[in-house]
């Protein structure tokens, strides 16, 4: 499977496709699935790639009902809200950006409410800050893994351009801290604007098996976006 994955696009194509907006420094609004979200400055505005994950959480293609769920890079909280609505056992929302964590908690309280699953909203650099001894069954992660310096704006860099290092830290921490329960799955979405092949290779080297769930081609460019299900092979089928 790895050998059939696309190579990273040339730098000039990546720059042409990704034209970062400084609107991230403004107060914005976002609507999805009939829900209204408020985005303070610095909070990531979801794009089409994010919505590929959101819609599949909502329709149950990525099951979370009754399961311990973690959104890595919670942003404005759409994934957390959907997991709450879909009846996850507990919802962990992690983000390195404190305002994003606060924003997620506000949206969850307003849309899901006190009768929904427990939300644990944490300021965390990938998994750093996640409680010791806890495990999760389902994780979603849309890593900001572009390696080109598209901007010198630290907010844009944080949301787009952290490269393969963020994926390396993700896998290292999952394995070292045994954060994924037996039978658990990581749903990771990557495109060939990032080092997709190298990140999947990291997953394989870390003991994960990789399954392609969906491939999205975008009109007008050569971007391909892959949604992967990653399972630790030593844990598949364990009780």
Report the run of H or E that residue 103 belongs to, with start and end: helix 98-111
Superfamily of domain 2-232 in CATH is Vaccinia Virus protein VP39 (3.40.50.150)
Q: What's the pLDDT score for residue 22?
A: 81
Domain chopping of the chain, boundaries: 2-232
∠ CA 127-145-133, nearest 5°, is 10
- The SS3 assignment for 81 reads helix
Residues with pLDDT less than 50, the chain: 239
pLDDT, tens digit (0-9, with 9 covering 90-100), for 200-230: 999 999 999 999 999 999 998 999 999 999 9
Which element (helix H / strand E) includes 171? helix 164-177
Return the pLDDT at 236: 54
Q: Virtual CA dihedral for 178, 179, 184, 186, nearest 10 degrees? A: -120
Whole-structure pTM value: 0.94
């Amino acid at each position: 499977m790895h050998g059939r994955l696309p190579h990273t696009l040339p730098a000039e194509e990546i720059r042409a496709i990704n034209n970062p907006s400084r609107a991230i420094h403004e107060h914005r609004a976002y609507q999805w699935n009939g829900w209204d979200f408020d985005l303070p400055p610095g909070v990531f505005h979801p794009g089409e790639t994010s919505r590929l994950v959101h819609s599949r959480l909502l329709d149950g293609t990525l099951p979370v009902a009754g399961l311990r769920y973690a959104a890595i890079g919670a942003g404005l909280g759409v994934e957390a809200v959907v997991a709450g609505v879909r009846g996850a056992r507990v919802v962990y929302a992690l983000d390195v950006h404190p305002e994003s964590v606060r924003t997620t908690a506000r949206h969850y309280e307003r849309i899901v409410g006190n009768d929904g699953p427990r939300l644990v909203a944490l300021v965390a650099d990938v998994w750093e800050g996640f409680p010791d001894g806890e495990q999760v069954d389902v994780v979603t992660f849309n890593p900001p893994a572009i390696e080109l310096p598209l901007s010198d704006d630290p907010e844009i860099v944080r949301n787009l351009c952290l490269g393969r290092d963020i994926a390396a830290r993700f896998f290292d921490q999952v394995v070292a801290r045994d954060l994924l329960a037996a039978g658990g799955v990581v749903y990771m979405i990557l495109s060939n604007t990032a080092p997709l092949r190298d990140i999947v290779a990291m997953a394989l080297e870390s003991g994960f098996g990789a399954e392609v769930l969906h491939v999205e081609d975008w009109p007008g460019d050569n971007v391909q976006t892959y949604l992967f299900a990653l399972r630790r092979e030593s844990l598949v089928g364990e009780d």
